[in-house]
Chains A and B, each alone.
Chain A
Amino acid sequence: MYGLKRAENGTAEYIMRVIPHRLCEIIDRYMQMPGLEEIRFRVNRPAQLQFQNKDVILSQYGAITPDEIIAMLHAVCMNSVYAVQNELRMGFVTLPGGIRIGLSGKPIMFSNEIKNLTSIQSFNIRIPHEIKGCAEPFVNTFIDKDLPASSIIASRPGVGKTTFLRDLARCFSNGIGTPRAYKTALADERNELSGSVDAVPMLDVGMRTDVMSLIPKSIAMPMLIRSMSPELMITDELMTEADFNAVSDAVGRGISVIASIHSGDLTAIRNMKWIKAMDERGSRIKLFMLTRAFDRIGLIDEEGSIICGSL
């Protein structure tokens, strides 16, 4: 078990540039309080502040107007919607400081693909939680014969998989708690692991980490293998058949892969077709469940034993 310490990265300034001016003072006050995870804005409804275990609705400040939402969009896009169109299609934009802003609106579909997101209705500003050191006590678990062991980390949403993976990348890349430092690559499809702006990681992902962000994992992973020859590949939220194939392919090429997946059941993951196929091939992937109680996290393996302490 490990106590989480929130890293100070001065995100308030960037957030204040984006939100409606009339709410800056009150939101700034709430941002001083610990545990703020999200700030949500919805057209014709009051702003909502989501803390770890509660939420606060700023109803006394009135509803967010459509004009305020448009102004927010322009501020988020730095007056250049076209420049972040690729991210908008995926439903989020990353600001300097690794602040991720999720958006919802009217997607424009073309040939089964989202071409653009228009009529934005809601914003979800996710406060980045770079918790340096949160994975350090667990690093040993991911090492097998002096090499990183291919592993899948599962959990329900909001437990901290991304934060954990980011710190794991930093540990392996910098050689913290590992036999040596490893060449690490991040296939960061949603730009959440590295929070890159103009391809420069805004969050600490380690000295020897190369990042490919905002493109599908199934494209990023082979590219990184070819161009950067990593020893360890880290990626977030496996979802599609193409993602699973990319992981199998990378492992088949002798690269260790640590990835996360949304799931609450390790047995179901073990029974997935692609995992079974890898087992048959002799490349057994370790499975872990990430759990969190208040500000503490723990890893549970397939046998149900708790690693690094007890819950």
Chain B
Amino acid sequence: MWKLIAGVFLFLISYGIGWLMCGRLSYEFNMLSGISADLKTMHSAVKYERKSLLELTTMLADRGELTEFWHEMSIRLEADCGVMAAWGFASKLLKGLNEKDMDTIDAFFMNFGKGGAETELGRFELVLESIGESQGKLKAEYSDRIKLIKTLSVLSGIAFALLIL
């Protein structure tokens, strides 16, 4: 009886570890999707409404994907601390992104609002394209890796359980 319970327990632990690893992997993907969706909303609001950065961050803090990040940005901007400083504080909330994507987004925000509408819209398109590419790569890797991790976690769980039994 105890062996059966221990076997089931080991199986669950192994499955849980696999589930956590999948979660970590999907976090980066979800974060990129969130940024991409919010940047698309920003792009439209700049293109058709010419909303200022403060208006954009306030809007996204209310109904964006990464509400916590935009809320932090809007608070800092409202306190007149400048885009670079606001980004410096808020970017700490964008965890889990790889270095290349982080650098792209960092460069985008560090220079945001300094140019005319055409320049800004062009920069939006560039950053969205770059994020889109990363998303595509991650998606291809993500589905394969998740399948592998899930299969391995289930198989290793069964193996541990069998060893105990």
Q: Is B50 an interface residue when CB atoms closer than 8 A count as contact?
A: yes
Contact with B52, one of A80, A86, A116 (Cβ below 8 angstroms): A80
CB within 8 Å of A: which B38-87 residues: 46, 50-54, 77, 80, 82-83
CA distance A81 to B113 in the complex (A): 5
CA distance A212 to B112 in the complex (A): 30
CA distance A74 to B82 in the complex (A): 9
CB within 8 Å of B: which A58-114 residues: 74-75, 77-83, 85-86
CA distance A95 to B46 in the complex (A): 19
Are the CB atoms of A79 and B53 closer together than 8 Å?
yes
Q: Report if A83-B52 is in contact (Cβ < 8 Å); known contacts: A17-B80, A74-B82.
A: yes
Q: Is B164 an interface residue when CB atoms closer than 8 A count as contact?
A: no
Are the CB atoms of B120 and A82 closer together than 8 Å?
yes
CB within 8 Å: A-B pair count: 47
B100, chain A: closest CB distance, angstroms:
26
CA distance A30 to B79 in the complex (A): 25
Chain A contact residues: over half helix, strand or loop, or mixed? helix
Are the CB atoms of B116 and A79 closer together than 8 Å?
no
Number of interface residues of A (CB under 8 A): 13
Contact with A74, one of B50, B51, B113 (Cβ below 8 angstroms): B113
Contacts of B80 in A (CB 8 A): 17, 75
A24, chain B: closest CB distance, angstroms:
12
CB within 8 Å of B: which A140-175 residues: none
Contacts of A86 in B (CB 8 A): 50
Q: Which residue of B lies closest to A86 (CB)?
A: B50
CA distance A79 to B113 in the complex (A): 5
Q: Report if A74-B114 is in contact (Cβ < 8 Å); known contacts: A79-B77, A79-B83, A82-B46.
A: yes
Chain B contact residues: over half helix, strand or loop, or mixed? loop
Are the CB atoms of B53 and A78 closer together than 8 Å?
yes
Are the CB atoms of B51 and A83 closer together than 8 Å?
yes
Contact with A along B93-128 (1 / 0, CB 8 A): 000000000000000000011111101100000000
Are the CB atoms of B53 and A81 closer together than 8 Å?
no
Are the CB atoms of B51 and A79 closer together than 8 Å?
no
Contacts of B113 in A (CB 8 A): 74, 77, 79-83
Contacts of B54 in A (CB 8 A): 78-80
Contact with B119, one of A17, A79, A82 (Cβ below 8 angstroms): A82
CA distance A86 to B118 in the complex (A): 12
Contacts of A116 in B (CB 8 A): 116
B113, chain A: closest CB distance, angstroms:
4
Contact with B114, one of A17, A75, A78, A81 (Cβ below 8 angstroms): A81
Are the CB atoms of A78 and B52 closer together than 8 Å?
yes
Contacts of B46 in A (CB 8 A): 82-83
Are the CB atoms of A80 and B116 closer together than 8 Å?
no
| Chain B residues at the A interface, C-beta cutoff of 8 Å | 46, 50-54, 77, 80, 82-83, 112-117, 119-120
Q: Pull 11 A–B residue pairs with CB atoms less than 8 Å apart, ordered by A.
A: A17-B80, A79-B54, A79-B82, A80-B53, A80-B113, A81-B113, A82-B115, A85-B50, A85-B116, A86-B50, A116-B116
Going nearest first, the 7 A-B pairs with the smallest beta carbon separation are A80-B52, A82-B117, A79-B113, A83-B52, A80-B113, A78-B52, A82-B120
